[in-house]
Structure 1
Amino acid sequence: MNGIFWLDEYQDAVFAELKKIPWAKTTGIYPELPDGFPTPAVFFDVSGWERSGSEIGGNVTLELTCNLYILRSFVSAGGQDEEERGVTETQVRNAALKMSDWIHGRQFGNGSAPAALVSAEPMVWEKGESAPEHAIWGVTFTQRLPVGADPFEEPDAPVLKEFWLGIFPDVGPEHADDYILVAKSEES
């Protein structure tokens, strides 16, 4: 199976799913943060990768380390009944818990393996000398992703419709009834 050819393909697939989260007022790719964005917000980042210990396709399989940053402005909570809704820190922590559940097992893009949650923790972003404007939690996950063209894929090869298994010595046309159907495509 062929994998992705550009990291943008994977990021676009993740971003498309993030935009579907109903409570996230702003979604984006970190570090491209818009000025004055409304919160709660979720930003996605691929922080690094290494070669995976197991191949799932493509020319090489990479294990990506990714982060989801969940932000809630301290100002946006002003005027709310904190006993009813909780303080900003509690709200962002609850959102991080939801995102931890949301990301685990999710697949994005061409042939990615299910995402595996690693951790979630509070974060502080330095923004000059001023006090932090947002409560922030980061959710870290890994995901295996095939990259490049699969060197063994034959684009014109026929697609198998059925796979039968014969056990020696009962093989050959005279033992057709002895074969076991192992797999069958939905098309056949």
Structure 2
Amino acid sequence: MSDGIHLNDYHQAVKTWLSENLSWLKTIEHYPETQTALKTPCVFFGVMDWERSDNQPMNGQLAVTLNCEILAVLGMADAQYQLEVRNAAMAIGLAIEQSRFGLPVDPAVFVSAEPDGFNPELDEYAVWSIRFNQDVEIGQDVYQPEGLTPHTVHVGYSPDIGPANTDKYEQVVGDE
């Protein structure tokens, strides 16, 4: 799967993916740590915790399940803000289901969406929490080959093998 996913890289990949796939969002940040008024609609993304995955790769890496949360935040100026924040949460849940965020990881699995009242700094906004899980592998693969990995494979059939017969070799795996 992966070769040493780092949380900084994971956070950035999810933020980038959200901005590319949910263009209606005005701001995408890590965790609600802002001290200024928010430009809504916006989201905050965070990895809440992780646990050991049931399936381990047996290559020196550790597979973990990341428990992630996206907070969808909308202003309350619109008379329909309760409906709008629910629609935003549903759209985000649909978008993240089965997403890999451009990383060599297992697909994301939507878990739940519900109103969020646990962030007092966001009390002036309508906030919903969208949770999902994603299995990733951390650490280095001890079996990763050193040096260059071949991109093209040719096969020769006896007796027409060797340097004098390379023009008779058949390409079985090519550059992609």
| Same structural fold, with TM-score higher than 0.5 when normalized by the shorter chain | yes
Which runs of no fewer than 5 residues in structure 1 stay unpaired?
165-172, 174-183
Q: In the aligned structure 1, how far is the partner of 2:124 from the partner of 2:52? A: 37
| 2:88 is aligned with 1:95 | yes
The residue correspondences of 1:1-188 to structure 2 (distance < 5 A) are 2-20=2-20, 21-55=22-56, 59-75=61-77, 77=78, 82=79, 87-108=80-101, 110-127=103-120, 132-156=123-147, 158-159=149-150, 185-187=173-175
TM-score, structure 1 as length reference: 0.74
- Structure 1 runs, 4 residues or longer, greater than 2 Å off: 1-6, 31-34, 55-58, 125-128, 155-162, 184-188
1:28, 1:43 within 8 Å by CA — same for their partners in 2? yes
- Mean Cα deviation higher: 42-51 or 102-111: 102-111
Q: In the aligned structure 2, how far is the partner of 1:186 from the partner of 1:58? A: 30
Alignment partner of 1:4: what SS? Answer: coil
- The alpha-carbon deviation at position 6 of structure 1 amounts to 2.4
Could you give the per-residue CA deviations for residues 141-164 of structure 1, whole angstroms, max 9, x where no partner exists? 0001111110111122653756x9
Aligned pair count reads 161
TM-score, structure 2 as length reference: 0.78
- The alpha-carbon deviation at position 15 of structure 1 amounts to 0.9
Q: In the aligned structure 2, how far is the partner of 1:11 from the partner of 1:17? A: 10
Could you give the per-residue CA deviations for residues 21-65 of structure 1, whole angstroms, max 9, x where no partner exists? 211111100033351011111110100001111235771111100
Q: In the aligned structure 1, how far is the partner of 2:34 from the partner of 2:147? A: 44
- Give the CA RMSD over aligned residues: 2.8
Which runs of no fewer than 5 residues in structure 2 stay unpaired?
159-171
1:58, 1:148 within 8 Å by CA — same for their partners in 2? yes
